[in-house]
Amino acid sequence: MGLKPHSDVLIVGASTAGCATAESLRHEGFTGSITVLGNETSAPYNRPPLSKHVLLGEWESEKADIFTDGAAERAGIDLHTDVTAQSLNVAERIVSTTRGDISYGRLVIATGARARQLPVSVDPAQVALTLRTREDSMALRERLENSRSVVVIGSGVLGSEIAAAARKKGCAVTIVGRSGALTLGSVRALLTQRLEQLHSQNGVALRLAEGVASIAHDGTTAHVTLTSGNQLEADTVVVAIGAIPNVEWLESSGVTASAALECDSQGQYAEHIYAVGDVAAWHDSRSGRWLADEHQLTALQHGQAVARHIATGEKAQPPVPFFWSELYGVRFQAYGRFPADAELVTTHGDRDSGDFVALSMLDGLPHGVVASNMSRDFRRARPAVDATLSGAPAPEPAMVPATAPLGGQS
Ligand SMILES: Cc1cc2nc3c(=O)[nH]c(=O)nc-3n(C[C@H](O)[C@H](O)[C@H](O)COP(=O)(O)OP(=O)(O)OC[C@H]3O[C@@H](n4cnc5c(N)ncnc54)[C@H](O)[C@@H]3O)c2cc1C
């Protein structure tokens, strides 16, 4: 099916945030036309299973699908995959794509992020894998099946999940990280001791204060040279050092920074334009700052909030970050904020060696709660976090008018 020349709501990016926006628009009673464009070839899917069940071979990748052509058709949503948005004309309200131009009433930017590559010598793509897409997950899964040793570069949560999967596949694993600490999503480095212990108990070697100088490949083995001069050898090297927002297609409309798009607390980036999910940083009326969360539930909540705003004009409560991960069968859940200067106070269990619930305390108030395998007590602690975070709001940032260049916002 060809693209229609106009859509009342045009959503660019067909993954969690984009599809949540489209489906929520119908749920909110929006009766206008909705078009979703995505540049991947397959049906839209969720990414969290890619580093867990899909990577381990427990799920076929189709089980992560979230929105089929049939579901889109039933909801009266024009879903187009394999089409790339190339530029935006703000004044004319037109998006140019690889399949022609499309004009819009409202535009929702949901183009997410891509894996950050390692800035080292040699062509890293030849010797190191990254994990962002379905295809990446399948390629890494196959490599893990055929590898005895793996070096994971990146000490964030994705690096930890890949390391845990590689250990489960029987590979010898080393995690290399520059920051000196293991981090866990929004919890940052506050649980580094517990994570170090988990990895060590499961036989993962940690090199947490070393950067990577270069990677070479001799045809069978990758040789990773660390900034300390130390060398590691591995059958497979995986790079998990974060993500870069996909904003380059907006360059012609004035966006020059490679950072997330700074929106108001309802996701509005400029007049008639919203941004949702990993590509967006929404203004947090509690802290007065822009927050880029890069979490699955934030992407969903962004989509739902923008849909409500477009369909009804109602303002939604800004999302409270909710993050989860699973390492070696241990389920971590985190809700709220974990500022670097917060103190983590254990309220149940033992944080350093087992299951626990802990509060992120700042100025005597709980700003976040994190738990390992204690879902019920985690849930019970959430209202106290809500009470703290619903404090006095900061003023909203000014809106960019529809005809002004987009980049001038901040
Ligand atoms: C392997 C992995 C595991 C994760 N695990 C967790 C987890 O356990 N818990 C958690 O909270 N979060 C997790 N996350 C993060 C979560 O998946 C993201 O926050 C979420 O995918 C963000 O959704 P999004 O729709 O904003 O962006 P994306 O998922 O990045 O989707 C954006 C889509 O837009 C497309 N696109 C980009 N540019 C264009 C263009 N110009 N034209 C058309 N289409 C375009 C992209 O190809 C992509 O399909 C994980 C992420 C990864 C990669």
CA of 391 to the centre of ligand 1 (A): 31
Shortest-distance atom of ligand 1 to CA 293: 19
Tell me, in angstroms, the distance from the centre of ligand 1 to residue 47's CA: 6
End-to-end CA distance of the chain: 39
pLDDT at 400 (0 to 100): 59
Would you say the CB of residue 325 lies under 6 angstroms from ligand 1?
Answer: yes
Q: Is the CB of 37 under 6 A from ligand 1?
A: yes
Of the CA atoms within 13 Å of residue 96, those in its CB half-sphere come to 11
CATH level 3 topology of 329-389: Enolase-like; domain 1 (3.30.390)
323 in ligand 1 pocket by Cβ < 6 Å? yes
Q: How much distance in Å is there from the Cα of 15 to the middle of ligand 1?
A: 6
Structural contact between residues 222 and 370, judged by C-beta atoms closer than 8 angstroms: no
* Residue extents of the structural domains in the chain: 6-114+244-312, 117-241, 329-389
Look-up of token digits 């649980």: 191
247-250 — which CB contacts under 8 Å span 24+ positions?
Answer: 247/111, 247/279, 249/84, 249/85, 249/86, 249/87, 249/88, 249/111, 250/87, 250/88, 250/109, 250/406
What's the pLDDT at 258?
79
Ramachandran class of 56: left when φ > 0, alpha when ψ lies in -120 to 50, beta otherwise: alpha
Q: How far is the CA of 132 from the centre of ligand 1 (A)?
A: 7
pTM of the model: 0.94
Residue of 111, 133, 274, 300 to test ligand 1 pocket, by largest number of atoms within 8 Å of CB: 111
Q: How many angstroms does the Cα of residue 364 sit away from the middle of ligand 1? A: 35
Q: Compute the C-alpha angle 224/258/109, nearest 5°.
A: 120
Q: Do 6-114+244-312 and 117-241 fold alike per CATH? A: yes
Digitized pLDDT (tens) for each residue of the chain, 410 residues in all: 789 999 999 999 999 999 999 999 999 999 999 999 999 999 999 999 999 999 999 999 999 999 998 999 999 999 999 999 999 999 999 999 999 999 999 999 999 999 998 877 555 556 689 999 999 999 999 999 999 999 999 999 999 999 999 999 999 999 999 999 999 988 988 889 999 999 999 999 999 999 999 898 888 899 999 999 999 999 999 999 999 999 999 998 988 777 999 999 999 999 999 999 999 999 987 778 898 889 999 999 999 999 999 999 998 877 788 999 999 999 999 999 998 888 999 999 998 778 999 999 999 999 999 999 999 999 999 999 999 988 645 455 556 556 666 764 43
How far lies 384's CA from each of 335, 346, 380, in Å?
11, 15, 8
Class of domain 6-114+244-312: alpha beta
What pLDDT does 409 receive?
Answer: 43
The protein residue with its alpha carbon nearest to ligand 1, atom 37, reads 111
pLDDT of residue 128: 81
**Distance from Cα 331 to the centre of ligand 1, integer Å:** 21
Among 55, 52, 42, 64, which residue's Cα sits nearest to residue 236? 55
Homologous superfamily of the 117-241 domain (CATH): FAD/NAD(P)-binding domain (3.50.50.60)
